[in-house]
Amino acid sequence: MSNSRSAIVVGAAPLATHDIVAVARTHAAVTIAPEAHDRMAATRAIIDQRAASDQPHYGVSTGFGALATTFIAPERRRQLQASLIRSHAAGTGPEVGRDVIRAMHVLRLQTLTTGHTGVRPLVAETYAAMLNACITPIVREYGSLGCSGDLAPLAHLALASMGEGTVRRADGTECDAITALAEVDIAPLQLQEKEGLALINGTDGMLGMLTLALHDLDTLITTADIAAAMSIESQMGTDAVLAADLMALRPHHGQARSATIMRETLAGSRIVASHRGPDDGRVQDAYSLRCTPQVHGAARDTMAHAHTIATRELASVIDNPVITNDGRLESNGNFHGAPVAAVLDFLAISVADVASISERRTDRALDPARNRGLPPFLAHEAGVDSGLMIAQYSAAGIVSELKRLAVPASVDSIPSSAMQEDHVSMGWAAARKLLRAVDGLARVIAIELMTATRALALREPLRPAAASGTIAALITRTCGGPGPDRFLSPEIETITRLVSDGAIVRAAQEARHE
């Protein structure tokens, strides 16, 4: 159900990414700005005028796509809109996550409230009421080509607003849409001219997933910085390469930020201090330790670019045709998902790279030829015990999959609609694989943290830094310390939750401020 916080106002200004996340994941309530009602009423009058005209207007008095030249008589137009939704709700495959559907839902509501789509205020009010009642239409994984909008996913959403199809109630139970709407006194929509088209022509699915991924990556990349610092520490590496003046020689913002977090995590480490100075015979650390700020920083800079694209898209009106500020009804190509698809693919590349270097640090920690005096696989009794050998296998398997997921979807256009829609973005597919990649990254980082924590314990009596020591203590309290082999899968899942919900980052921040 919606929480007790103030409702998020839709239609006053473009929503921020944190607004989307709040609606999607914490079920924040929404309300429509009064001025948005006025805009929608004014532009609906324009649509009504076009509907009364003898001239054909796309989406108002014509068919759709390749049938755009087919004139539809006035008495058949409501059927036209309903038929559009029913036929386009053709998704298949597993259910999409509830947070993705809610993100898509509020993004479509935002576009409706701009007044540029020509829907009645009632349509937006119904969408808002469904969100606030936590009625979540069931949307299937496959169906969108990412052009003409995320048609099939958005059609499933629109179908539920008509009282058709299936939904999940606030408690997660599945039922018919008409039943769920009746339970909360929401009348099903009877769509009028242009409204069916306005409900499905948008990049809201791929944009919603981009927003959620960026939110998660903000935490994950910082956690990756912390895990890397703990690996450097536990493998007797040097923090000298993280110096601010060295970072300034290559002034990428992301690189500098990652190096700062790593320095703060290692501040005061007795382990690092124990081998600092002329007695340390190593000239330099391996790339996976020495080049972490550069790799993580590249991901941070990619995220910054993606944030820019997401912010622009959040301020966009995605519909076709669209009502312009001077009242024209114009066809356009703004529904093409190319801008969003490209950054989704770009992020997937960075996610794979960050996971790849994390797995290499984990592997070094388990190899007695490279881990500076630790037992093979950090095992309690090597030979009898396998230690963390197979945890590294899990990380390696995930990294290999992330490399496959980094193959761009946005270059894989395929024509549709009798060659009318002959170039598409595949942005929905790019978004789906990015979310899977983000989940994989969290697991790879968790395995590195598990490994670094055990390695730090094996360095005793040398003491780690305050931040890394606090994190190691958190993980040890939750999962246990070194010892004979035990069931590792639950521990990996537990640490993954600590990574994903930000507990690792919070622990590091608290330790630095003590």
Active site residues: 58
CA–CA gap between residue 387 and residue 385 (Å, rounded): 6
Cβ contact 181:135 at 8 Å: yes
ω before 339 within 30° of 0 (cis)? no
Burial label, 111 (beta-carbon count in 10 A; 0-12, 13-18, 19+): buried
Q: How far is CA 411 from the centre of its chain?
A: 20
**Side-by-side strand order, sheet with 136-137:** 136-137, 166-168, 174-176
Distance between first and last Cα of the chain = 37
Kindly report the backbone phi and psi dihedral angles of residue 168, in degrees, each rounded to the nearest multiple of 5, phi listed first.
-115, 135
The C-alpha angle with vertex 278 and arms to 276 and 281, in degrees rounded to 5, equals 90
Place of tokens 């929905």: 428
Kindly report the backbone phi and psi dihedral angles of residue 94, in degrees, each rounded to the nearest multiple of 5, phi listed first.
-65, 160
Kindly report the backbone phi and psi dihedral angles of residue 95, in degrees, each rounded to the nearest multiple of 5, phi listed first.
-70, 145
Task: Give strand pairing partners of 167.
Answer: 137, 175
CA–CA gap between residue 181 and residue 398 (Å, rounded): 41
Place of tokens 């979310």: 435
CA–CA gap between residue 377 and residue 362 (Å, rounded): 10
CA–CA gap between residue 360 and residue 370 (Å, rounded): 12
Q: Which two tokens stand for residue 385?
A: 């015990």
Cβ contact 472:382 at 8 Å: no
CA–CA gap between residue 107 and residue 314 (Å, rounded): 8
Q: Which two tokens stand for residue 95?
A: 């259910």
CA–CA gap between residue 300 and residue 293 (Å, rounded): 10
Q: 227-236 burial, b for 16+ CB within 10 Å, e for fewer?
A: bbbbbbbbbb
Q: Which residues contact 82 (CB under 8 A, 6 or more apart)?
A: 162, 190, 191, 196
Longest dimension (CA), the chain: 90
